[in-house]
Amino acid sequence: MKDLTDFIPSDIGEFQLIDSVRVQVSTHYLVKSRVVYSIRVPLLTSRFLGNNSLSGPLPSHKSENLLKGSYVHTYCCLTVYCRDLSCNYLSGTFLSWLTSNLQLNLVANDFTFDLSSSSIFPGLNCLQRNFQCNRNTPCYANFAIKCRGEEMTAENVVYEAENSSLGAASFNITSTEKWAVSNVGLFSKSENPTYVGTTHAQVIGTRAPELYQTSRLSPGSLRYYGLGLENLLYNLSLLFAETAIEDLSTQRWQSLRRRVFDIYIQGTPQLKDFDISKETDGVNRPVTMNFNANASENHLDIHLFWAGQGTCCIPEQGDFGPSISALRVVPDFISAVSGMPPNTPRKKNQTQMIVGITVPLRIVSLILIFIAFYMKRKKDKMMRKFYKR
């Protein structure tokens, strides 16, 4: 292992047996370099350069080094190359030679986009450092996510589906631009890397055990972004349950596994070496960790980060890193925003139509009630005159 304290060394190519470069530290934004693309090592299969201070533009033309030096995924005979360059200071235009089968995580940089380049990686323009989508025009006050699961309602909260297929360097943003998820990391020496945790075990101590049947996993860095929020104080609840570890009471070696990761909110460390099973004093038990944070630039950043602590290979190779079942964010203030996605004229017109119909109907109803009352009074008066005779 070679420690980096400032710049990526220019002689890194001399280390010919390197098979992975992972420049990622728990104290963010320390490593600086402008030679991201010049690392040429024959056996290099993965590069994770996120959470640093890399700057400069992407190469102006398609570079074979960019492809060969990246981790390779194969999905149904489709080769997908991936590289993590998220949370840096890379800038310039988003180049047209980039295609969707080149899996790059370029979230939280300083790229500029036009209409054509925005279609290559939809939503990436919303996830640059300036968070330009719904900027200064907030339209959401809360959100809730069922991490790696379908939409469901639990304890009167509607959790939106987060069921996209994330890879070693990928992201996804909702069509409403309400929230996004970003994942970075490779499960080392795992033959079948997965980013989904599932269990059929009964999670006890909750009225909504279905929330914990699936979870989103990450071997490195997992971020959830809330977008289009008012720049005020919010209450954040992160829902966890350790369902992949055997209980210590079994006294089996598989129970020795420890999942440990850090939690950051808005870039500020909240919990270091967080251990779900230690927090709950066992497995298959839920725990909700609550935090408060102010949205800035109309967004919130929830970051779960594996800093190399805990176990990595129990019971199998690659069993480590963050795991989360669900999360919800609510305002700690009375919100004035509508909560409706922007550019929804159809729904607006429907509201206007309902109002336009309801008001006349109420007026007509009042008139009919008045007429009925008048006719009854008139009838009663005529009956009284008839009996007087």
- Residue range 224-235, pLDDT digits in tens: 999 999 999 999
| Residue 192: band (very low, low, confident or very high) from pLDDT cuts 50, 70, 90 | low
Rounded distance, CA 110 to CA 82, Å? 19
Position 205 pLDDT exceeds 70: yes
- Greater model confidence, 175 or 26: 175
User: Is the domain defined by 131-343 classed in CATH 2.60.120.430?
Assistant: yes
Q: Which of these CATH numbers, 3.30.2270.10, 3.80.10.10, 3.10.50.40, 2.60.40.10, describes 1-127?
A: 3.80.10.10
Position 72 pLDDT exceeds 70: no
**What is the pLDDT, as a whole number, of residue 326?**
98
Rounded distance, CA 49 to CA 22, Å? 6
Mean pLDDT (whole number) for 340-358: 51
Chain centroid offset of residue 328 CA: 11
| Residue 369: band (very low, low, confident or very high) from pLDDT cuts 50, 70, 90 | confident
Q: State which H helix or E strand residue 93 sits in.
A: strand 89-93
**What is the pLDDT, as a whole number, of residue 384?**
62
- Beta strand 299-305 pairing with 102-105: unpaired
Rounded distance, CA 213 to CA 196, Å? 10
**What is the pLDDT, as a whole number, of residue 256?**
77
Summarised one tens digit per residue, pLDDT across range 137-180 is: 899 999 999 999 999 999 999 999 999 999 888 999 999 999 99
Position 47 pLDDT exceeds 90: no
Position 264 pLDDT exceeds 80: yes
**What is the pLDDT, as a whole number, of residue 155?**
92
| Of 114, 56, 132, 133, the residue nearest 88 (C-alpha) | 56
Rounded distance, CA 183 to CA 84, Å? 9
**What is the pLDDT, as a whole number, of residue 176?**
94
| Residue 14: band (very low, low, confident or very high) from pLDDT cuts 50, 70, 90 | low
